[in-house]
Structures are given as structure tokens and as C-alpha cells.
Amino acid sequence: MTDPGQDTAEQQRQQPARPAERDPAGPGISGARATGLIVTLVLGGLTALPPLSMDMYLPALPEVTGALHSPAATVQLTLTACLMGMALGQLVVGPMSDKWGRRRPLLAGMVVYVLATAACALAPTTGLLIGCRLVQGLAGAAGIVIARAVVRDLYDGVAMARFFSTLMLISGVAPVVAPLIGGQILRLTDWRGVFVVLTAVGVLLTLAVWRFLHETLPPEKRQAGGLGAALRTMGALLADRVFTGYMLAGGFAFAALFAYISASPFVVQDIYGASPQTFSLLFGLNSVGLVLVGQINGKVLVGRVSLDKALTVGLTVIALAAAALLLMASGVFGKAGLAPIAGGLFVLMSAMGLAMPNTNAQALMRSRDAAGSASALLGTSTFLLGALVSPLVGIAGEGTAVPMATVQLVCALAAIVSFLALCRPWQRRD
């Protein structure tokens, strides 16, 4: 782990990508021109697993409540279980990838993900569906945590921040098309068909990993020791105040986003009367906003504006958008229709394009030699906070958007406080 007091600006000046060293077990990833596009697409596919697993299923939530004869709050636990699994699974897979390399844990996780997703399609009760979603999340964590670790293996400094923004462009296609696909699947079949399609996507991605993604962590750079060593590494990372600040800022920002993911099917469809297809179009539009702002961050701002300044703007806009949503949902401006609510959600989602890539890049810059463990902590905190807010958005029933907006505002303010109190950007040169 790098010295917590190391100058961030010095790290950001290290712009060129560092090609991964050759692995004796297979061909290495050498020049970016030769294999960069394929590797980027595969890594983008791995980071797209969470939105695919979540968003393709969202239009079907109201249907699942009727088909399995369960209340909406119980069906929302299928989202919470998947997210909780992704959070906890990263704590296991991250250190494993530091010890045994990136490739083997990733392939094992992808195979289990495929089997668990197929089981979701066959689940006869809500309880079994929740259990299968938990296993699906545990296995899918491999793709999330190892994709970030591979980026840390290959890139440093500003180049890493730019690559994260590129990944956002690729993985951002998933939330755009996933609800649209989910809505169209519901025209042809029931909610189980969504999981059949997800199973096929998992199979294709597993084959792509096996064929194109070679080892990026050579044996001489792997971590020795067992569980104790992994816990000590994570403890050292958490003792780094700045790392923890970025981790919490990113986690709370994602929690605000997940409050939207969890509540929006009911808010948009049940409260404001939109069809599943209209909901899918609005969700896709919001995802386009996130992708576009992420590209502005990576192509225009990074290298010209400090990552901390871009992050400050992103978190501030998220908080302002959440406050506006709360005022509209509370009726302060009269009865708000779908259009102003959708506009507020669009601004909030778009600002995530400044928050998410910059918190990841800044945190991973603090951990050169334990990228898997650092990625695990980032992912676990993010998904755990998201899972915790999921039940809160429906706490006042299904007839108001106030709980969703309240949770979003509280999470946005917590992200700002974590960033300012722990990272203290004014004390470090950017």
C-alpha cells in the first residue's frame, strides 16, 4: 500500500499505462493497440454485470409480486439479496485474486453465476428466489472486483481515471438497454424469461473471459499468506484515512443511486402511472446521462481539472437534485407530475458520472500492491450501503416518493461529509 501521505498530484502525473507482465501460464496482455479494445470490452462486460442483473429485472417487479403472491416489500428483498451477495462476495474474491491471480477466481465465479441465474428462472417461491439471487450476487462479485483490480494492474494515475470513464461508457450501455430488453421480454413471456436471458448473457461473458482475458498479476507480485494476511492488508487500507474517505464517499453516492434503482419501478409505474415500456425508456435516458457525463469527465476534465474538484461538483449536484426531488414529492410546489420528477432523477443520475469513476480512481491510487483487497473494500462498502437503503425506500408505503427522495438526500449529504472530513482535499495538492 502506498504511503497515505504520498502526494496525489505526483501519482496523477503518471499518465502512461503500465502493460501487465507476462504470465508463464499463458500469453500476457502487452500493447494496448494489440489487445486493448478486446480487453476493454471484456472488462466493460464484467462491470456491466450489476446493472444487467438488477435493471433487466426491474420492469418485472410488479409482476413478480402478483405471480408469487408476495407484497412489494418482500419482492424488493430479491434486489437486496443480490446486492448483499455482491457486497460480501467481493470480500472473499478480492484477496483470493491477490493471492492466486485474477483469472482462476474470475472463471470460477462466472460459472457459479450462470448456474445461480438459471436457478432464479426456476424458483417457485419468493423465498427460493431470494436465496438464488443471493448466490447469484455472491458469484457475480468476482466480475466486479476483479475487473477493477485488472485496471489497477494495467494503469496508474490519470490514465486509470480515464480508463474508468471508458469502462463507464461500455458498462453504461447495460442500464440503457437492460430495462428496454426487460420490458420487451415481458411482452413475450413472464418474469422468468428475464433470468433465462441473463443466463445466456452470463454464458457468453464466461466464454469471453476464458478466451480473451489473460492473467495480469504475475506470480512474483502476488500476496502470500492466508486469511490473516488478507485481514491485515484490509486493516491497513482502512487505517488510511484518505482511502476510507473516498470509499465512503463512493459508497454513499451509490446508495443514493440504488435508492432510485430500488424505488423507481413503483414510483414511476404505480404512483405516476407509466407503463413498463415507458419506465424502461426513462431509465435508459437517465443511464445515457450518466454515461455522457462520465465521458466528459474522462475525455475533457481529467488532466485539466483535479479529480477532487470534479468529484466535489458531482456530489454537490447529486445533493441538490435529491433536495429538489424531496420538495417536489412533498408537494411544496404543488402536485408534481411525472415530467419534473423524471427531470430531477435525470440530473441525479447524470452527476454519478462525476462521482463514481473519480472515487474509484482516487481510492485505488492509494493501493498499488493490494489492488484486489482495495477493490473488494470499495465494492463491498458500495453494495452493502446500497442493500441497506433498499428496504427504506418503501417504508412509508407504495403511494409516495418521499421516502426515496429522503434516502437519496441523506446519502448524498453523508457522501459530502465523508469526502470533506476524511479526504480533506484542501490539504493535498491536486
Q: Which of 429, 402, 140 is nearest to 308 (CA)?
A: 429
Alpha-carbon distance of 1 to 366, in angstroms, equals: 6
Q: What is the DSSP letter of 398?
A: S
Q: Which of 409, 407, 400 is nearest to 330 (CA)?
A: 400
pLDDT value, residue 244: 95
Alpha-carbon distance of 347 to 344, in angstroms, equals: 5
User: Partners of 311 in the beta sheet?
Assistant: none
Residue 227 — very low, low, confident or very high, per pLDDT cuts 50/70/90? low
pLDDT value, residue 242: 93
Q: What is the mean pLDDT of residues 237-246?
A: 93
Residue 172 — very low, low, confident or very high, per pLDDT cuts 50/70/90? low
Backbone angles phi, psi at 305, to 5 degrees: -120, 140
Q: DSSP per residue over 309-323, as a string?
A: HHHHHHHHHHHHHHH
CB 393 within 8 A of CB 405: no
Alpha helices in 213-337 (DSSP H): 227-239, 241-266, 276-296, 307-329
Higher per-residue confidence, 427 vs 289 = 289
The one-letter amino acid code at 146 reads I
Q: Which of 107, 103, 100 is nearest to 222 (CA)?
A: 100
Neighbours of 302 (CB within 10 A): 25
- Whole-angstrom Cα Rg for the chain: 20
Query: Residues near 412 by Cβ (< 8 Å), separated by ≥ 6?
Result: 252, 253, 256, 315, 318, 319, 322
pLDDT value, residue 318: 96
Burial of 80 per CB tally in 10 Å (0-12, 13-18, 19+): buried
User: Is residue 122 over pLDDT 70?
Assistant: yes
pLDDT value, residue 252: 95
Angle ∠(348,138,277) on CA atoms, nearest 5: 45
Residue 388 — very low, low, confident or very high, per pLDDT cuts 50/70/90? confident
Query: Residues near 6 by Cβ (< 8 Å), separated by ≥ 6?
Result: 366
User: Is residue 77 over pLDDT 90?
Assistant: no
SS percent in the chain: helix, strand, coil, step 5: 80, 0, 20
Q: Which of 376, 324, 319 is nearest to 352 (CA)?
A: 319
Mean confidence (pLDDT) of the chain:
81
Burial of 227 per CB tally in 10 Å (0-12, 13-18, 19+): exposed
Q: What is the pLDDT of residues 318-349, one digit of tens each?
A: 999 999 999 998 877 777 778 888 899 999 99
Higher per-residue confidence, 138 vs 266 = 138
Q: What is the pLDDT of residues 345-366, one digit of tens each?
A: 999 999 998 998 899 888 888 8
Alpha-carbon distance of 145 to 89, in angstroms, equals: 9
Q: DSSP per residue over 39-93, as a string?
A: HHHHHHHHHTHHHHHHHTTGGGHHHHHHHTT--HHHHTHHHHHHHHHHHHHHHHH
Alpha-carbon distance of 175 to 261, in angstroms, equals: 10
Q: What is the mean pLDDT of residues 114-133?
A: 93
Query: Residues near 385 by Cβ (< 8 Å), separated by ≥ 6?
Result: 251, 252, 254, 255, 258, 411
Backbone angles phi, psi at 302, to 5 degrees: -60, 130
User: Is residue 17 over pLDDT 50?
Assistant: no
Residue 310 — very low, low, confident or very high, per pLDDT cuts 50/70/90? very high
C-alpha cell at 316: 454537490
Higher per-residue confidence, 222 vs 106 = 106
Question: What is the Cβ-side half-sphere exposure of residue 297, based on CA atoms within 13 angstroms?
Answer: 37
